[in-house]
Amino acid sequence: MGGAVGELERVALMGVPIDPVDMTGAVDRVFDWAGKERGDECRFVVTPNVNHLVMLEHHVGLRDAYLHASLVVVDGAPLVWSAALLGVSLPGRVAGSDLVPGLFAAARDRGPITTYLLGAAPGVAETAAVKIRGRFPGVEVVGTYSPPMGFEHDPEENARILSRIDAARPDLLVVGLGAPKQEVWVDQHRHEIAAKVALCVGATIDFLAEVQPRAPVWMRSVGLEWAFRVAREPGRLTKRYLRDGWRFPGLLLRAMRGRRAP
Ligand code: UDP
């Protein structure tokens, strides 16, 4: 279901199709879809960062998800800089963890909307639901669920998750299962997910619950959010960022050479 919905054409950044919209444009599009009938499948949003670009080199399931996504917005500042180096025009960064509160805030005037929170450790989504109810008038949290480890390989558990979502029929499904699991799961089940739009947004439920702090605004604006996250969770994230920091410059160089080639 990819492709622009009658708005700006997609641009290609290092082989990845991107919707060149800013936060306002992304919020408008998601609200537009949330106000319509669901159609044959759940539309979904992916938010590429350096880690996704490195994985897209070899991960077929993630590539498929990117092909089917309805909205692709750039999450990481390094990708905005890479776009500038490559002469690809992007209006800026739309991080998933900013897009979700942006949508919830907009529901005050444009809502009401319903949402279901899928992912994060047990108990975290419930805490996020309480905070959302206090912070965002116009948003109704109609369900939360933290799937057990390895759920994606268990057909019965998958059916249970889908039937819980079906019972709640949310406008927005916030999916925080980490990449590439969240993108692949949503893509594989997009015909069965009874939500209008799914947002694949990593640690956003942790941020909404305030069990993890976001990096300070100045760090985000100079592209250092990754450093803040590594300092908070070195055990889990150091290997990821080292590997990506090693591979990404090669991908960027290849794209720059490709651009210069006749
Ligand atoms: N997570 C989960 N189930 C899993 C794997 C991860 O609910 O099987 C959650 C985890 O608790 C965290 C989020 O997924 O809330 C992913 O965080 P991560 O930092 O990896 O996301 P990203 O860096 O992609 O934003």
Residue nearest to atom 20 of ligand 1 (CA): 178
Confidence of residue 3 (pLDDT cuts 50, 70, 90): very low
Q: Which of 4-8, 57-61, 249-253 has the lowest mean pLDDT?
A: 4-8
- Ligand 1 pocket at CB < 6 A: 119-121, 146, 149, 176-179, 181, 202-203, 205-206
Q: For atom 4 of ligand 1, which residue has the closest CA?
A: 177
Once rounded to an integer, what is the mean pLDDT over residues 110-136? 97
How far, in Å, is the centroid of ligand 1 from the Cα of 245?
20
Ligand 1 center from residue 181 Cα (angstroms): 9
What is the predicted pLDDT for the residue at 190? 98
Instruction: Give the domain ranges of the chain.
Output: 11-209
3-state secondary structure the chain: CCCCCCCCCCEEECCEEECCCCHHHHHHHHHHHHCCCCCCCCEEEECCCHHHHHHHCCCHHHHHHHHHCCEECCCCHHHHHHHHHHCCCCCCCCCHHHHHHHHHHHHHHHCCEEEEEEECCCCHHHHHHHHHHHHCCCEEEEEEECCCCCHHHCHHHHHHHHHHHHHHCCCEEEEECCCCHHHHHHHHCCCCCCCCEEEECCCHHHHHHCCCCCCCHHHHHCCCHHHHHHHHCHHHHHHHHHHHHHHHHHHHHHHHHHHHCC
Is the pLDDT assigned to residue 180 strictly greater than 50? Answer: yes
Q: What is the pLDDT of residue 262?
A: 60
Please compute the mean of the pLDDT values over residues 111-131 and round it to a whole number. 97
Using only the alpha carbons of the chain, give its radius of gyration: 18
State which of 177, 226, 239 you would mutate to test the pocket of ligand 1, scoring each by most atoms of that ligand within 8 A of its C-beta: 177
* Residue 259, pLDDT score: 77
pTM, rounded to two decimals: 0.95
Closest residue CA from atom 23 of ligand 1: 202
- Topology of domain 11-209 in CATH is Rossmann fold (3.40.50)
pLDDT class of 240 with cuts at 50, 70, 90: very high
Which range, of 54-68, 157-171, 203-217, 221-235, averages the lowest pLDDT? 221-235
Under a CB-based contact definition with an 8 Å cutoff, are residues 114 and 143 in contact?
no
- Which of 152, 183, 206 has the most ligand 1 atoms within 8 A of CB, as the residue to mutate? 206
How sure is the predictor about 1, in pLDDT bands with cuts at 50, 70 and 90?
Answer: very low
CA distance 126 to 17: 35
Mean residue pLDDT across the chain: 94
How far apart (Å, rounded) are the C-alpha atoms in residues 237 and 244? 11
More confident residue, 15 or 261: 15
Cα(2) to centroid(ligand 1), Å: 25
The average pLDDT across 43-62 equals 97
